């Protein structure tokens, strides 16, 4: 029903920037929470950022506050994650996710109904 496709990952040096995109299709997202999560080898899936599609509040994990910014473009049905001041510890597969019924904990991956395939981000030192 809902399809999410991430893009924009790659290899970047520490201190550099990347912008990830999540193209969404299938239905309106006006009532959704949209989130970004990441998972590194041997680690659990970690909350990165989220927003309400309708606008207003944004949310960030402690490890990325002040460095990452989540936003969306309604005309393109696309969510972005601007990542600045990247660190080697940011290396992970980054996933876009959608919560169609935002009554749960937006920091919890289990609250999200739809997931993209992921895009790899590697930060070298």
User: What proportion of the chain, given as a percentage, has pLDDT over 70?
Assistant: 99
**Which of the two residues, 61 and 53, has the higher pLDDT score?**
61
pLDDT at residue 55, rounded to an integer: 84
pLDDT band at 54 (very low <50, low <70, confident <90, very high): confident
- For residue 123, give both structure tokens: 């930060």
pLDDT of residue 28 exceeding 80, the answer is no
Backbone angles phi, psi at 75, to 5 degrees: -65, -30
pLDDT of residue 109 exceeding 90, the answer is yes
Q: Nearest CA to 99 among 118, 84, 112?
A: 112
Segment 110-117 long-range contacts (CB within 8 Å, at least 24 positions apart): 111/33, 112/33, 112/35, 113/2, 114/1, 114/2, 114/3, 114/4, 115/4, 116/4, 116/5, 116/6, 116/22, 117/5, 117/6
pLDDT at residue 30, rounded to an integer: 80
User: What proportion of the chain, given as a percentage, has pLDDT over 90?
Assistant: 82
């Amino acid at each position: 029903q809902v399809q999410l496709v991430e893009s924009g990952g790659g290899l970047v040096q520490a201190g550099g920037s990347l912008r990830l995109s999540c193209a969404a299709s299938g239905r309106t997202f006006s009532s959704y929470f949209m989130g970004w999560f990441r998972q590194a080898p041997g680690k659990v899936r970690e909350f990165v950022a989220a927003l309400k599609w309708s606008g207003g509040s944004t949310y960030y994990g402690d490890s990325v506050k002040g460095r990452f910014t989540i936003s969306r473009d309604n005309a393109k049905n696309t969510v972005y994650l601007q990542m600045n001041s990247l660190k080697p510890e940011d290396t992970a597969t980054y996933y876009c996710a959608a919560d169609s019924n935002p009554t749960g904990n937006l920091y919890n991956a289990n609250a999200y109904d739809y997931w993209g395939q992921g895009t790899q981000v590697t930060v070298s030192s």
